[in-house]
Amino acid sequence: AEQVSRRHYHQQQFHKAATTTRSRFQHFQHHHEFDILQMTSDDLASRLSEGYLPTIVVDTRDNIISSDGQVQAQVRGALFCPAPCFHSDHIRFLIEKAKERKRVCNTGISNHKCCVVFYDKSSTRRSTKCATRFWQTVRQCGGTNEITVKVLRGGAKSWFRSFGKNHRLVQDFAFDEKR
């Protein structure tokens, strides 16, 4: 009887340890499942310059009007979706736009996913929050075979430091109005 209860005790301990390990693994997997990768300015510039890779850029800065009333520059072709206003309507619109961009860019035998890149001023807090919300919706809709999501490392500051004078990559509204 003692040997049976000892065996039962060890089975319980083993089950308890396995359950704890599994739940820790599941927590780790769940915690990291929505981590959004960052993209360097050079990588984004390459994608935009090549033109054949489906890419959408989203500017999540709260305001693109400077204190002196000028519209600030942004990545050329970026969609302006301020983080506080980034809701389900914007997300659905972006998903449809990404699917359309993938369809248009993938002619012939290529089958590249559309890369949706979010950025804000310099940190990645706002853009990561929007990117995570977007990615969760993409996963729920089953669009992971068509769309990838990234955040621009260093945000707009890094982008303009690298490409501020390149008007093929930067939409500088003040400069464009002077021409």
Q: Where are the beta strands (DSSP E) in 114-171?
A: 114-119, 147-152, 170-171
Q: Is the pLDDT of residue 135 over 80?
A: yes
> What local confidence, expressed as pLDDT, does residue 40 receive?
94
Asked if residue 146 lies in contact with residue 114, where contact means CB atoms within 8 angstroms, the answer is yes
- CA–CA distance from 59 to each of 20, 84, 117, 133, 148 (Å)? 42, 12, 9, 15, 17
Which residues is 38 bridged to in the sheet?
A: 151
Q: How confident is the model over 20-50, as pLDDT tens digits?
A: 444 443 433 333 445 689 999 999 999 999 8
What residue type is 15 in one-letter code? H
Position 33 scores a pLDDT of 42
Q: What is the pLDDT of residues 57-115, one digit of tens each?
A: 999 998 777 677 666 788 999 998 888 889 999 999 999 999 999 998 887 777 889 99
pLDDT for the residue 6: 57
